[in-house]
Chain A
Amino acid sequence: MPFRFVHTADIHLDSPLRTLAMRDPDLASLIGGSTRQALHGIVDLCLEEEVDALIIAGDLYDGDQTSMKTARFLADQMKRLHEAGIVVYKVRGNHDALSKITHELVLPPSLKLFGGRGETVEFRLNDLYVAIHGLSFSKPHAPESLLPKYGRPRSGAVNVGIMHTSLAGAAGHDLYAPCSVADLHEWGFAYWALGHIHVRSEHREAGAVVMPGMPQGRDIGEAGLKTVSLVTVADDHSIQIEERPTSIAQFERVPVDLTGAETWPEIVDRIEREIIAVRDATSAPHLVGRLFLRGQTELSWRMRRDRDLLRADIEHRLGNSGRTWIDKIEIGTAASRGVPTARGTPDPVDELGILIRDEIRSQHGVRESVAALVKEIRDDLPPDARRFCGDDEAGFDSFVDRLLGESGEEIVARLAQDGAEFR
């Protein structure tokens, strides 16, 4: 009789989605509880597939999560598994280590939470001998590899290791138990159930090293299909891994080439076509797309000025489908206006644009006053809303650079459009 389990990690229960699309109250009500729905779905999957166990490789919640409602919801889901006789094996990740609610929660006895020292749970499933090894983060940071703390593989058993790790080389994650895939393979376990990195990766040699990714992406940085692993260990110890989709809302980037578009409706048409193409390829019930508009079009300036209108028009078009939403529109189109000639540009508006680009931006004092402006507004905002201008000095500088570039183009667009319209 095979040993079957579902492997997930980084659920970040009740962690909010980060998209402006949520301004739409309809959408907010549909996907506001996506992380919960994802967990519920994973439990459903366990029950439907009648698996033996659910493995959670850390980060059930955000570290600053303190609502007991979240904890209660988790407890209820664990109870469902308990009632169905499904065991849960769980290690704490860096977020869980921070969490206060973990300590207050009473979880069903069938949930095995591994402690800060390496532990192994062994059991027999008919003829199959299974050993599960786990280790929790006891502090939010673990700069050293945790691998040496794990027990060696039990002979004759199917060894499954649960670890929360950034894996070596994962940029920006080096404080989280770094450890290389090769080292893991070498340890000799049949299956390493990892967590921490939000993107899925699978490394198979003699054994399998699997990072399942999170079950529900929360912003465009966590775009793409999100899944859990459904693992079957056969009596001959062979391992079969299936991916099962879990997200309620899927974030996707939607590039749209608008070259040569002549009218507003044409632009909306083309965008709608691209979004629908992406949506048709999306398995999640809801698609939240970020539009990247490119190409040369006469309407470039108007789009920059009427960004809100464009968004409203597209949303109106998509409104009927009820499952496609706009995260943000990034306009990178260029106007096919004047072509500078040897004798200069033919159009004063272009001349103004060129002046801004070539002279004004680098003019003495301009950058300083813009930077001061950015600081002034930044310091007036709540701390959580200050990240738009970078976390450090380099980030701030690059934000100011971008601001100068984009604002110059936008203001020229506006002057040309509005200057003509106020005629």
Chain B
Amino acid sequence: MRLRRLDLTRYGKFTDFALDFGERAVGGPDFHIVYGLNEAGKSTAFSGFLDLLFGIEERSTYGFLHQYAAMEVGAVLEFGGKLHEVRRVKQRTGSLRDASGQTVGDGLLVGALGGLTRDAYRMMFSLDDQTLENGGNAILDSKGELGELLFSASAGLAGLSKALTAVSGEADGIFRKRASSTDIAGLKRRLTELKAARDQIDIQANAYSVLVADFDRAERAYEEAMTEHVEFKARSKELGGLVRAAPLLAEHRRLGEQLSDLGALPNPPGHWASELPALIDGDATLKTRLSGLDRQTRRLRDERDAIVVNEALVRLTDRISALSSGSARNVGAETDLPKRRTALNEIRSRLIQFARSITGEDCDVDPDTLVVDAGTLAKLRELIERWSGVETRLASTGTELEAATQAEKHAKEDREILERDQPTLDATRRAALQAAVTGVKASDLLPRRRLAATAVSAKARAVEEAMHLVPWPGKREDIEKVQVPSGRQIQDWRDTLAGQDLRRKSHRQHRRDLETEKAELQASIAAAETCAGTIGDDEAAALRERRDGAWTALRDGPDVRSAAVFEELMRAVDTMADARLAAADRLAELRRLKRDLDVCKARMVREDELLAEVDAETGSLAAHVKEVCAIGIVDQPSTSLGERIAKIEAWIARRKQAVSAMSEHRSALADIQAVECAIVEATASLDKVAQSVGAVSKDLELTVLLQATDDLLAKEASQAQLRAAADKLVRDAGRSVGTRRKAAESAVQGGQAWRDEWAIALTGTWFRDRSDDRRAVRSIVDELTGLPARLAERDELVRRVRSMEADQESFLSDLEALQHELGEEAGDKAPGAAAADLIERHRVAVDARSQRQRKRDDLAEIEKERAAVVDEIATHDALKADLLTFFNVQDLKEVSACLSRCGTRDRLESERSSIASRIMQETGLPSMEVAEECLAGLNAGEQAREHEECIRRLEDLDERLKSLFAARSGAADKLAAIGNDDAAARIEAERRTVMLEIEDKAVRFLHLRTGAILAERALQVYREKHRGSMMARASEAFRIITRDGYSGLATRPEKDRETLIGLSGSGGSKLATDMSKGTRFQLYLALRLAGYTEFVATRQSVPFIADDIMETFDEPRSEEVFALFGKISETGQVIYFTHHRHLCELAKKSVPQAVIHELLS
């Protein structure tokens, strides 16, 4: 599959963006670089591509700009020899569409992808720096294990070793033989704990039967001890009774003897003894009390009979009481009545006087007819009070109306005067004028002219100054025309000159060094030659020549002499040879020194040549400089070419300043000209408008014109204000007149209303005819206010006088009637005194009657008491007779003695019987006789001893019973404590769960361990299967990437594994794990590329996508990686994302056919 074009229609930050990878170049690499800055959307593009192939992810993070429903990516894909245009939208089903929008089944792509899934694609065919780094680490983790490396590289799974280690770690965490910290060990410990917990609370069946037996035993022992205890208790009780009964029996006998001493006595009733003292006392007192009572009776009867009562008076009690109160009133009336009558007469005459004065009539007028009702009076008073307000208002409103009318008239006059003196400016014209002035002001023409003028003079000064610094003989304008060498050219000159100087300096230094060397060599040679015994080569050659000559002579004509000469020379040669042999080192040294000297000389010559060459170059440079400057640059005398160049450069810089100043000056002049033109135009247009208003002189300068128009406008503005104020005055005055008029009318209406009310109020009064005289009415009203009170006072006096007179009359008739009834004559006495006498007599009669009644009551009481005493005496006498007869004695004293003896006998008998019953109780015997008989036969001491023993035995038994009871209770408690709760069952349930958990863990452990075994074996097989092809490819790729730093890869078998090693270019090898970090990354890259190549070799290719993976690579290696990508891209499309511009260039250099696409951010 090949990606022809990727459409990011609505995806991430992109809208309708397309990345067109174009047609595939035939036979060439299909390598694309996508360049974009950070955030340009490289990752988005990759994700978009995956989403196109496999569907937009459920929770895609690329829906931030376009909503999920709108998201769409598209592409033109090449596969199966055809082009396919497809689009992908975000939908659960039918998300893949063709170009026309028809749904296409996902099967279309599945076939082309050969069943690859999204994850697999991402893992296998994409790379980024992180993947690479993790891959490098994976090499370390795997310790170079080949199988793992090949697998993880071709599957893109960098964490394989870690995953395998994690599996082992997890398995170890679950179970390790004899380890105590594993899960299973922990669970086993828990089992032990649970067993202990259960043992502690639970009772097993066999333990239960033991408990039951324990309880039975304890129960039996307790019952036995109890029986024994009961027996001893009974015996002890019996003995104790006998012991205590013995002394009681003696006491019983003694009491019997005392009783027999007393002899026979009768048995009187028990109460006699207590009654006897009262009887003796009664004998003396009863008779005395009877005679005293008789005396009292007689005295009371006499006193009662002596009292006399006037019964007639007593019968009239009610009426006499009424007379008493009537008498008191009579006395008051006699003194008060004359005073009241006088007062009544006075008040009547005052009223008549009042009536006369108020009505102004001479004849008598009944004051009662003058009364006017209070409502009318109040109304009249209120109207009189209101009148002054009504009156005042009528007056003031009238005055105010007049003043307002006057004010309005004045305001109107003032306004007319104002309009006449200063007519209003036409509004349109004034607006035009205002607009014109504002326009001119807004354009800032005047300030701009000022600034421009300042600028022109400043620039002119700058030109002068600049020109002053540039030596220039010609016209000022011409300086601009001069062609000057560029900065770069001058820099070139400098660089060249510097290079020449450097070379010159170096050559000179060499020359100097060689000179020194030469001197040294010559000195050395001289020293070697002067060394004694040394035969130089020349001398040796001469000697050999002479020997050869001698030989020739000898051979030609042998004789003694020639032979001798030859011999001598032979000897000399031999001697020389020996000597030379001996000094061979020195000779060789000498030869070397001479050779060195020659070399040295030759090098000196060469240095000289080079120096000359440099000088010539400098000369030609100087000539070139001069030639260039000749066209106009003012040449200045200089000591050296360098200085000259510097001066030229300085001149050029100053010229540049001058030229720039001139240019600025010109532009300032142009500015000011433009401003002036604008001012002229503005003046003309403003003037035209001002003239139309007609208030300004013609042909004024703009400033003056502006001022004039400003003044005009200001004056017009102030006039307008005045006019507005006058208009306001007129309006206000008009409004004021209206208001006043209304007030005046309302006052008149108020007055009329008052009069109407006044007339109505007076109707029905006796003074209605005085309606016009408000003062008279007012005084009548004031006077009438007090009249009803005075009339009421008069009526009250009349009523009281009449009542007093009636009381007097009733008193006199009552008195007379009483006297008549009592049959008495009125006599001469005044009725008051007669009445008082009658009342006094009546009081005396009543007192007497009540005294007599009290005496009667006392008498009845005494008689009752006497009858009681008589009864008491009869009873007393009867009892006394009984006693005397019973004891047959004469008086009560004897009776007393008899009773005392009987008492003593009774006490003794009671004591004796009580002792008898105690004895029977202690011994438990039925009667006293049996007890006496029984006790008589016993030995008391023996009994007591036996009793003591019994008590001690019982104490022992008590203790034993206590402990047996505790034992029985304990056993019962233990049984009861078993309970029926499910605590044990719950522990058992937990134990079962722990067992299940152990099994679960064990199975988990086995899965992990078995999985690890299977995976290791599978990786071995994988290694065997892919070793050949992948190793060859990876080895080659690694060699290329490392630029022959490594010649390739090899493997080394180790026990059951095979590790990867790198073969160093310089021979030797290195474990993959020993390589540097960067190299490890490159090794992983080589493996990944091999994996990819392996894939495309056997299947349809898919685009391989890499994202800036070469951050850590040096340039040469990067170049090689690009070359490798180029090579791979001959079989499958490779897309490389980067944000480094230089990498694009590098790629282009390595693979000229690579296509670069820019992703604009």
Q: In the complex, are the beta carbons of A411 and B115 less than 8 A apart?
A: no
Q: Tell me, rounded to whole Å, the shortest Cβ–Cβ distance linking B774 to chain A.
A: 99
Contact with B982, one of A36, A374, A422 (Cβ below 8 angstroms): A36
Classify the interface of chain B: helix, strand, loop or mixed: helix
**A419–B155 touching, CB < 8 Å:** yes
Question: Does A263 sit within 8 A of B, measured CB to CB?
Answer: yes
Please name the residue on chain A nearest to B205 by beta carbon: A100
Point out the residues of chain B lying under 8 angstroms from A366, CB to CB.
Answer: 1013-1014, 1017
| B residues in contact with A126, CB < 8 Å | none
A254-B678 Cα distance, complex, nearest whole Å: 95
Shortest CB-to-CB span from A106 to chain B, Å, is: 10
- Cross-chain contact of A346 among B114, B985, B992 (Cβ < 8 A): B114
Q: Is B666 an interface residue (CB 8 A)?
A: no
Task: List the A side residues contacting B1008 at CB < 8 Å.
Answer: 407
What's the nearest-Cβ distance from chain B to residue A315, in Å? 16
Q: A82 on the interface (CB 8 Å rule)? A: no
B612 at the interface (CB under 8 A from A): no
Cα separation A17 to B991 with both chains bound (whole Å): 10
Residue from A36, A263, A337, A373 within 8 A of B1009 (CB atoms): A373
| Given A356-B1015, A360-B1018, A66 contacting B205 (CB threshold 8 A) | yes
CB pair A415–B1098 under 8 Å, yes or no, is no
Contact B204 A68 (CB under 8 A): yes
Q: Are A381's CB and B184's CB within 8 A?
A: yes
B202 touches A67 (CB 8 A): yes
Given the complex, which residues of A lie within 8 Å of B35, measured CB to CB? none
CA separation between A192 and B1015, bound complex, in Å? Answer: 59
Given contacts A20-B1000, A380-B177, contact A361 B1014 (CB under 8 A): yes
Q: Is A391 an interface residue (CB 8 A)?
A: no
Q: Which of A52-60, A72-80, A141-149, A162-170 contacts B (4 or more CB under 8 A)?
A: A72-80
Tell me if A422 and B205 are in contact (CB < 8 A). Answer: no
Interface size class of A (residues with CB under 8 A): 35 or more
Q: How far is the CA of A285 from the CA of B1018 in the complex (A)?
A: 49
- Whether A360 lies near B163 (C-beta < 8 A) is no
* Residues 969-1003 of B at the A interface (beta carbon under 8 Å): 978-986, 988-993, 995-1000, 1002-1003
Cross-chain contact B159 with A411 (CB below 8 angstroms): no
Contacts A16-B985, A388-B1003, A410-B1011 given; does A348 touch B151 at CB 8 Å: yes
CB distance from A49 to the nearest CB of B (A): 24
The answer to whether B1019 has its CB under 8 Å from any CB of chain A is yes
Residue B1022 interfacial (CB < 8 Å) = yes
Residues of A contacting B166 in the complex (Cβ-Cβ under 8 angstroms): 418
Take A100-B206, A346-B120, A411-B1015 as given contacts and tell me if A14 and B1006 are in contact as well, using a CB distance cutoff of 8 Å.
no
Does chain A have a CB within 8 A of B1029? Answer: no
A-side contacts of B203, CB under 8 Å = 67-69
Residues of B close to A73: CB separation below 8 A: 980-982
CA distance A76 to B980 in the complex (A): 8
Q: Once the chains are docked, how many angstroms separate the CA of A81 from the CA of B990?
A: 31
- Per-residue CB contact flags for chain A residues 367-405 toward chain B (1 = under 8 Å, else 0) read 001100110111011101101100000000000000110
> A23 near B: Cβ within 8 Å?
yes
Q: Within the assembled complex, what's the spacing in Å between the Cα atoms of A377 and B178?
A: 11
Complex interface: chain B residues within 8 A of A100 (CB): 204-206
Of residues 310 through 362 on chain A, the ones whose CB sits less than 8 Å from some CB of chain B are: 337-341, 343-349, 351-352, 355-356, 359-361
A101 within 8 A of B: yes
- State which of B123-131, B576-584, B595-603, B1135-1143 sits at the interface with chain A: B123-131
Chain A residues near B167 (CB, 8 Å)?
Answer: 411, 414
A411 CA to B1010 CA in the complex, in Å?
9
CB distance from A36 to the nearest CB of B (A): 6
A344-B1098, A352-B1018 given; A419·B985 CB < 8 A:
no
Residues of A within 8 A of B1022 (CB): 348, 351-352, 355
Residues of A within 8 A of B591 (CB): none
Q: Are B980 and A420 in contact (CB under 8 A)?
A: no
Cβ of B953: which chain A residues have Cβ within 8 Å of it? none
The reply to whether A359 and B1021 form a contact with Cβ atoms under 8 Å apart is yes
B985 touches A22 (CB 8 A): no
Nearest residue (CB) in B for A100 is B205
Residues of A within 8 A of B175 (CB): 377, 380
* A18 interfacial contact with B, CB 8 Å: yes
Is residue A104 within 8 Å, beta carbon to beta carbon, of the partner chain? yes
Which residues on B sit within 8 Å (CB–CB) of A351?
1022
Minimum Cβ distance to chain A for residue B237 (Å): 41
Is there contact, CB below 8 Å, between A408 and B1002? no
In the bound complex, do residue A378 and residue B1002 qualify as a contact, i.e. CB atoms below 8 Å apart? yes
Docked complex Cα distance between A411 and B170 (Å): 13
Known contacts A69-B983, A408-B1014; A298 and B988 CB within 8 A of each other: no
How far does the alpha carbon of A337 sit from the alpha carbon of B260 in the complex, in Å? 137
**Interchain CA distance A352-B1007 in the complex, whole Å:** 17
Q: Which residues of B contact A202 (CB under 8 A)?
A: none
**Measured between alpha carbons, how far is A177 from B988 in the docked complex, in Å?**
30
- Chain A residue, CB-CB nearest to B1000: A20
- In the complex, per-residue mask of A19-36: 1 if CB is within 8 Å of any chain B CB, else 0: 110110000100011001
Residue among A14, A104, A363 making CB contact with B208, cutoff 8 Å: A104
Residues of B within 8 A of A343 (CB): 1098-1099
Q: Determine whether B519 belongs to the interface, using a CB cutoff of 8 Å to chain A.
A: no
- Using Cβ atoms and an 8 Å threshold, which residues of chain B touch A373? 1006, 1009-1010, 1013
Contact of A423 among B130, B164, B996 (CB under 8 A): B130
Give which listed residue, B130, B162, B978, B997, contacts A72 with CB less than 8 A: B978
- Asked if B995 and A382 make an inter-chain contact with CB atoms under 8 angstroms apart, the answer reads yes
Give the complex CA separation of A60 and B1022 in angstroms. 59
Tell me how far the C-beta of A167 lies from the nearest C-beta in chain B, rounded to whole angstroms.
Answer: 28
State how many angstroms separate the Cβ of B47 from the closest Cβ of chain A: 16
- Once A68-B204, A352-B1022 are accepted as A-B contacts, the answer to whether A23 and B993 lie under 8 Å apart by CB is yes
Q: Does A306 contact B (CB under 8 A)?
A: no
A241 sits at the interface (CB 8 A): no
Q: Is A138 an interface residue (CB 8 A)?
A: no
> What's the nearest-Cβ distance from chain B to residue A345, in Å?
8
B540 at the interface (CB under 8 A from A): no
Given contacts A352-B1019, A418-B159, A419-B158, contact A346 B1099 (CB under 8 A): yes
**A263, A385, A403, A407, most chain B CB atoms within 10 A:** A385
Given the complex, which residues of B lie within 8 Å of A346, measured CB to CB? 113-116, 120, 1095, 1099
Asked whether A337 lies within 8 Å of B983 as measured between CB atoms, the reply is: no
Q: Is A278 part of the contact surface with B, judged by Cβ < 8 Å?
A: no
Are A347 and B1018 touching (Cβ within 8 A)?
A: no
* A222 to B1132 alpha-carbon distance, docked (Å): 60
Q: A88 → chain B, closest Cβ, in Å?
A: 17
Closest to B188 in A: A382
Given contacts A339-B115, A388-B999, whether A33 and B982 have CB atoms under 8 Å apart is yes
Instruction: Give the contacting residue for B1017; candidates A76, A104, A363, A412; CB below 8 A.
Output: A363
Q: What is the minimal beta-carbon distance from B1087 to any residue of chain A, in angstroms?
A: 12
Query: Is there a chain A Cβ closer than 8 Å to B1012's Cβ?
Result: yes
- A420 in contact with B1015 (CB, 8 Å): no
Would you call B324 an interface residue if the criterion is a C-beta within 8 Å of the partner chain's C-beta atoms?
Answer: no
| Bound CA span A103–B1005, Å | 44
Decide if A242 is an interface residue (CB 8 Å cutoff). Answer: no
Determine how close the nearest CB of chain A comes to the CB of B1145; give it in whole angstroms: 31
> Chain B contacts of A22 at CB under 8 A?
989-990, 992-993, 996
Select one of A19, A67, A359, A418 contacting B984, CB under 8 A: A67
Cβ of B154 within 8 Å of any chain A Cβ, yes or no, is yes
Shortest Cβ gap from A194 to chain B (Å):
26
Query: By the criterion CB–CB under 8 Å, are A72 and B979 in contact?
Result: yes
Enumerate 15 A-B pairs (CB-CB under 8 Å) in ascending A order.
A20-B993, A33-B982, A69-B983, A72-B980, A337-B115, A338-B115, A347-B124, A349-B157, A363-B1017, A377-B184, A380-B184, A382-B191, A407-B1006, A412-B1015, A420-B123
Among all A-B residue pairs, the 5 with the closest Cβ atoms: A422-B159, A411-B1011, A419-B157, A418-B163, A16-B989
Given contacts A349-B155, A381-B999, A420-B156, 15 further A-B contacts (CB under 8 A): A23-B997, A67-B202, A76-B980, A100-B206, A339-B115, A348-B154, A360-B1014, A360-B1017, A369-B1013, A381-B998, A385-B999, A407-B1011, A408-B1014, A418-B162, A419-B162
